[in-house]
Chains A and B, each alone.
Chain A
Amino acid sequence: MSYCVHCGVETDEKSCPLCATPIIDPNAKEDDDNERRFPYPDTIDELYRKVDMKYARRLALIVLAVPVLVVLIVNLLSTGIISWSLYVIGALICLYTWFLVPVFYRFKRPYAYLFIGFSSLILYLYVIARMNDGGGWYLGLALPIIIVCFIVIQLILLAVRRLEWQPLERAAAVTSLIAISLIAIDWICDAFTGQVFLNWSIYALLPLMALAGVFLLLERKKELKEEIRKRLFF
């Protein structure tokens, strides 16, 4: 019979389960410890790390379904056709694909999330264009810009995930890709207005490319890199 000196309770354990104070029995033999029976076995039933994703997905869908149904009914009652409610529904679908799909669905690589997100955006803008006779701006401006952004972000992701590259090499690749995407966007905008004349993108391109060059240079000049690291240490 051993007691905790702080809690006053009897226990067979080595330390008090209530306050963790060691229980010392000067008369105890080594064999006593081996003979001690635990009230519960060693086996542990399966434990869970994961969040209940199935429930979260279902709940999110129901929460989104409520405004969708409300605007659909209001739209139908007020105009007799499905018209402006598509703006709200499309926006909700985009929100779902951008913010909830990455949380609720696990893909091995992140490219699928981008594909789903950009696809929903392309479709949403298409619906808006169709409802406003905006086929021109959609095909000439919105669609190409979205595709460029999609490709550039995919490439940036690829560059960032190339772990065999040095961090500064990856930073140079990202900076260069941003610069190239700006040129592409400028070109698309000019093409839409009918006169291709690269203007503002050049001003963005030059410092960005210079920055990329500095990153590459720093990566090659180890001593300079170390010196900067030393000075900027925090």
Chain B
Amino acid sequence: MDRRSYPQWIALDNAAKIYPAARSNSWTAVFRLSVNLKEKINPEILQIALDNTLERIPFFGYRIRRGFFWYYMDSQKRKPQIQEDVQNPCSRMLRRSEGHFLMRLRYYEKRIALEVFHSLTDGMGALTFLMTLVAEYIRLTTGERIESGGKVLDIDEEPQKEEWEDSFSVYAGAGRRARAEEKAYHLKGTPLFPGHLGLISGIVEAGSLKKLANSYGAGINIFLCAVLLDAIRSVQSKEKSSRRRAVPVKISIPQNLRRYYPSRSLRNFSSYFNVSLNSNYGEYSFDDIIKLVQHTAGIEGMEPMVNARMSTNVAAENNRFLRLVPLFIKAPVLKLMYILHGERYFTTAISNLGAVNIPDALRLYIERMDLILGAPRSNTFSCGIISCNDLTVISFSRTVHECDVEKAFFRKLVKLGLHVKIESNRRE
């Protein structure tokens, strides 16, 4: 495809619209995917690999701009420059000093980290970009050409129209679902310095984890959600206030909509559902919690349910009155709505990108991968999970000093017989 026939600007998709309006210095709407290679990173070659990858997936080099009614992504001649990694990842994006890009690429020792503003893409889109970039980096450093497949795109291929498609509008139907839910339990804590994110990552063997999850009749995702619900519930049970003990614990679980529809979009195409555990009803055993997550995921994972939720959001965006309101009025109102309702209905989010599907030739160069979700706005922590080369990395990011949930979570895994190695970004 000719560079000129590539769109010079792209309207934000349904999921992306809220982020530029609602973002702030403390809530950055940024997530991070990183890959640890077996050799130290060469920054010069990494910059070339980034430039080449941007030729293949050009909209990752776009900037965000304000229209009269909505924000949009606009092409620009400048190219993002790689940066050295920092101790506090997922900091504010769209800085003037960084050229207003929606992504940044960082490196440290053997690690390449891609930080993405959520308006640009979701985890799957970012994973495809990063894996394509890593394959190109390997080609440039070793001369070995990694065949495309899975999350690796052919770097010599022209950009495909479907890759920047807004799949929400393509697949939205007529079904509608009520969005109001019961308020969720929110943890409290001593805030970290604004802009700082506390990280604790637990590394476990993917094979052992799968075996353990299967012994409970569940997959890894269901099992880890259940462990997290159990951990939050144990922290909640120590609350002094009986009112706070009675509020349901809820976990928000993102769904990759590409599993349901034949979309090849590299932009946002994911939804979510909430799993709720109401301690008011009595004591739940761990098996009960697994069943609760499993059945909720089963119901919420049915295509009509998924489509109705997605379509409700698309319908709200297509409301004529809302569309005609100028952005300078709409943006603060959207932000206020997000502050009031955005994280009201869940205690935390757990995002699992699963086992990364990449060619075996590329797998040989990779040690492990990490997924870090940026700081939540009103909740105190979130959890990102990714598996690669038989290693599952469970990363908790938090905005408070206390890490009681992480402690309960990893202690539970150890108690269940898993070997867990812990890393953090703190300095002793």
Interface residues of A (CB under 8 A from B): 4, 7-19, 37-50, 52, 55, 58-59, 62
Give B88 Cβ to nearest chain A Cβ, in Å.
5
17 pairs, A vs B, C-beta closer than 8 Å = A10-B420, A13-B428, A17-B422, A17-B426, A18-B406, A40-B86, A41-B85, A41-B86, A41-B108, A42-B87, A45-B87, A45-B91, A46-B91, A47-B196, A48-B195, A59-B335, A62-B332
CB of A42 to closest CB in B, whole Å: 6
Q: What 7 pairs between A and B have smallest CB-CB spacing?
A: A47-B195, A17-B424, A8-B414, A48-B25, A45-B91, A18-B407, A40-B425
Residues of A within 8 A of B419 (CB): 10
Query: What is the bound-complex CA distance between A18 and B336, given in angstroms?
Result: 35
Which of the residues B24, B91, B422, B425 comes within 8 Å of A16, measured between beta carbons?
B422
Q: Are B335 and A55 in contact (CB under 8 A)?
A: yes
In the bound complex, what is the Cα–Cα distance between A9 and B193 (angstroms)? 27
Complex Cα spacing A86 to B109, Å: 66
**B84 engages A9 (CB within 8 Å):** no
Question: Do A40 and B85 form a contact, CB below 8 Å, given A13-B428, A62-B333?
Answer: yes
Q: Chain A nearest CB: distance from B129 CB in Å?
A: 21
- A14 cross-chain contacts in B, Cβ below 8 A: 428
Contact yes or no, B333 A55, CB < 8 A: no
Q: At the interface, yes or no: B238 with Cβ under 8 Å from chain A? A: no
B194 CB within 8 Å of chain A: yes
User: Contacts A46-B91, A48-B195 hold; do A15 and B428 have CB atoms under 8 A apart?
Assistant: yes
**C-alpha spacing A59/B202, complex, angstroms:** 41
Q: Are B199 and A40 in contact (CB under 8 A)?
A: yes
Number of A-B contacts (CB under 8 A): 110
Expressed in whole angstroms, the minimum distance between the Cβ of B201 and any Cβ of chain A is 8
Most chain A C-beta atoms within 10 Å of own C-beta, residue among B88, B195, B407, B427: B407
Nearest A residue (CB) for B403: A18
Nearest CB on A from B418, distance (A): 10
CB A148 to nearest CB in B, in angstroms, measures 40
Interface size class of B (residues with CB under 8 A): 35 or more
User: Which of A15, A41, A55 is the one whose CB lies under 8 Å from B87?
Assistant: A41
Provide the bound-state CA to CA distance between A12 and B423, in Å. 8
Determine the residue in chain B with the shortest Cβ distance to A1. Answer: B421
* Cα(A11)–Cα(B403), bound, Å: 16
**Taking the complex as formed, is B178 at the interface, i.e. its CB lies under 8 A from any CB of chain A?**
no
Q: What are the residues of chain B within 8 A of A37 when measuring CB–CB?
A: 109
Q: Supply 15 further A-B pairs (C-beta < 8 A) apart from A14-B428, A39-B201, A48-B92.
A: A7-B411, A8-B411, A9-B411, A10-B422, A17-B422, A18-B410, A19-B407, A40-B199, A40-B425, A41-B85, A43-B87, A47-B196, A52-B24, A55-B332, A59-B335
Q: Among residues 375 to 408 in chain B, which have CB atoms less than 8 Å away from a CB atom of chain A? A: 403, 406-407
Whole-angstrom CA separation of A18 from B414 in the bound complex: 13
Assess whether B333 is in contact with A44, with CB atoms less than 8 Å apart.
Answer: no
Bound complex: CA A58 to CA B414 (Å) = 50
CB 8 Å contact bits of B313-351 with A (1 = contact, 0 = none): 000000000000000110011011000000000000000
| Residues in A whose Cβ lies below 8 Å from that of B87 | 40-45
Asked if residues B26 and A9 are in contact (CB atoms below 8 Å), the reply is no
